[in-house]
C-alpha cells in the first residue's frame, strides 16, 4: 500500500489557514489510501488498514508542522508525548484520524448504501496558546469533502431550538454507535430525547454546529486531541462547550486525559443540564444556580 504525500503547506500561511491546509492535506492522504484499496479490488484487512491510516497521516502532519512551524510544540494521539510542551507558549493539538473504526468500514446496507465507505471520521488540528487557550481549530471531514475552521463564526446549531422547549420535537443528542455512556442510554428511554448514532467525536461536535443534532454529551473515554479542534470550531460558532459538570475545558496539561464533554446549543443548555441531573449527572453550573437561588 503506497503512502501518498501531498505538498507540504507553506510556513507563510497564518495559523488558521495553516490549520485548514493541514486538515486538507491529511484528508488527501486518507482518501488516497481508500482509493488504493478500491483500485486493488476492494479487499483489505481492517486492522492493518486502520494502522496504515494512522501511521501515514501522522507522518505527513509531523513533517508538515516541522516545516511550517518548527518552533512550536505538538501533542498528537499518534506520537510519543513530550511533556516539555507544557512549558511551551504554542502547542498544536492534533488527532490525525478520529474515528479510525469508521475510516476502515463500509456501509452494510442497513446503515447506508451497501458497500460505500463510511463518511463519519475526521482529522483534528488545533492550536493552543498560553493565555487565551484554544485559538485556532480545523476539523476535516474527508469523506464529506469539507473542512470547518474557526474562521467561520456563523451561529451554529439547529434552526428551531425553541421547538424542543415547546415540546414539539425531541432533544436530539449525538451518540456513540457502539459505546454510548450509560446515562445517555437512560436519557434515550425518555419520549422527549432522541439519540442519533454516529462515529468520531469530531463528527458528533460538528453535527451540533451544523444543526443535525442539538447536543453531544460524553463521559469516560477521551483525551485532549479528541475534543480540542472540534471545540475550537464549535466555540467560534457560539455553542456551549464545557466539561460534563459545567467546568471549563482546559488543554495542554501534563496529562492529556480529558474524559468528558458537553456541547450544546445555548438555548438548550439549561434544559439538557436538567435532563442530565435527572439521571444522576450533577452539574456544577446547576448546583451553583440552586445555591444562588
Residues for the chain: how many in total? 293
* SS3 call for 1: coil
Summarize the annotated binding site for Mg(2+) as residue ranges.
77, 95, 97-98, 226
Helices 15-39 + 46-68 axis angle, to 10: 150
Residue carrying C-alpha cell 493565555: 131
Handedness of CA 125, 227, 221, 143 (dihedral sign): negative
d(CA 92, CA 74): 5
* SS3 call for 59: helix
Of 185, 249, 248, give the one whose Cα is nearest residue 223. Answer: 249
Beta strands (DSSP E) in 11-167 are 73-76, 90-98, 122-129, 133-141, 146-149
H/E stretch holding 84: none
Helices 224-236 + 201-210 axis angle, to 10: 10
d(CA 217, CA 271): 13
How far is C-alpha 170 from the geometric centre of its chain's CA atoms? 24
Summarize the annotated binding site as residue ranges.
77, 95, 97-98, 226
Q: For residues 175, 178, 181 and 185, what is the CA-based torsion angle, rounded to 10 degrees?
A: 70
Amino acid at each position: 500500500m503506497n503512502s501518498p504525500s501531498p505538498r507540504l503547506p507553506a510556513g507563510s500561511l497564518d495559523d488558521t489557514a495553516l490549520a485548514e491546509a493541514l486538515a486538507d492535506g491529511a484528508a488527501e492522504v486518507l482518501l488516497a489510501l481508500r482509493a488504493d484499496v478500491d483500485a486493488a479490488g476492494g479487499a483489505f484487512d481492517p486492522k492493518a488498514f486502520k494502522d496504515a491510516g494512522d501511521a501515514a497521516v501522522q507522518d505527513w502532519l509531523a513533517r508538515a508542522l516541522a516545516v511550517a512551524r518548527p518552533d512550536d510544540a505538538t501533542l498528537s494521539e499518534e506520537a510519543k508525548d513530550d511533556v516539555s510542551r507544557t512549558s511551551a507558549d504554542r502547542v498544536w493539538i492534533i488527532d490525525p484520524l478520529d474515528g479510525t473504526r469508521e475510516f476502515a468500514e463500509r456501509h452494510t446496507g442497513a446503515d447506508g448504501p451497501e458497500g460505500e465507505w463510511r463518511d463519519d471520521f475526521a482529522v483534528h488540528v488545533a492550536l493552543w496558546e498560553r493565555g487565551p487557550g484554544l485559538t485556532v481549530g480545523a476539523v476535516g471531514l474527508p469523506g464529506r469533502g469539507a473542512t470547518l475552521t474557526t474562521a467561520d463564526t456563523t451561529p451554529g446549531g439547529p434552526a428551531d431550538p425553541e421547538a424542543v422547549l415547546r415540546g414539539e420535537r425531541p432533544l436530539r443528542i449525538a451518540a456513540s454507535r457502539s459505546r454510548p455512556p450509560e446515562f445517555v442510554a437512560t436519557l434515550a428511554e425518555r419520549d422527549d430525547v432522541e439519540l442519533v448514532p454516529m462515529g468520531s467525536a469530531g463528527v458528533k461536535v460538528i453535527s451540533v454546529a451544523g444543526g443535525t443534532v442539538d447536543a453531544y454529551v460524553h463521559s469516560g473515554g477521551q483525551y485532549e486531541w479528541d475534543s480540542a479542534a472540534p471545540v475550537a470550531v464549535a466555540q467560534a460558532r457560539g455553542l456551549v462547550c464545557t466539561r460534563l459538570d459545567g467546568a471549563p475545558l482546559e488543554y495542554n496539561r501534563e496529562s492529556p486525559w480529558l474524559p468528558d464533554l458537553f456541547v450544546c446549543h445555548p438555548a438548550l443548555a439549561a434544559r439538557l443540564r436538567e435532563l442530565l441531573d435527572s439521571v444522576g449527572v450533577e452539574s456544577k453550573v446547576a448546583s451553583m444556580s440552586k445555591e444562588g437561588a
